[in-house]
Structure 1
Amino acid sequence: MSVQVNIMANGRMSLPAGIRKRLGLEGGGAVLIEETADGVILRTVSQAVARAQAIAKKYTDHPDASVDAFLASRRSDSGE
């Protein structure tokens, strides 16, 4: 879904009420803006946390996910 949002001279913009409602921002709240090569991504804080947790889970769902295992691997890779 694409919606045009105008940016005021002072840099403010207003999210349409329907989008704020779907995102759980009816009473206000914080959002994170990520600039990418393709444009801008707007996420709620809870969406950003969930995304970070999903990324971290990829690296912790195996037996060698401990800090000690990581450091041992780094030492091995560097020849220590």
Structure 2
Amino acid sequence: MGSRWLAQMPLPIPEKPGQLFDNADSFGMVFDEAWKRHERAGQHQGLSVAEKKERAMAECSEHPFMLSNPAMAAQVADFRIRLLGL
């Protein structure tokens, strides 16, 4: 397997310390948590789904998968929104 599947540089997340990986699963988990964190903080009130997605994506901007494949990361975010009914 290529280096794409190996752990990238660790990025700290207060709720889940440890390494993040350059793959869709890792990005999806981080995106979900960012979305939920915004909801809990009341930051989603009055926003469209597109605006909510944009805010969560911005919070994930340093994730290895977002850096290496931003177009696919956006598709993963759309999938997570549909799958989880976010």
TM-score, structure 1 as length reference: 0.29
Compare relative contact order (CA 8 Å, sep 6+) and give the higher one, 1 or 2: 2
With structure 2 as the length reference, what TM-score do the two structures score? 0.27
Higher helix share: 2
Q: Which has the larger radius of gyration?
A: 1
Which structure is higher in strand share? 1
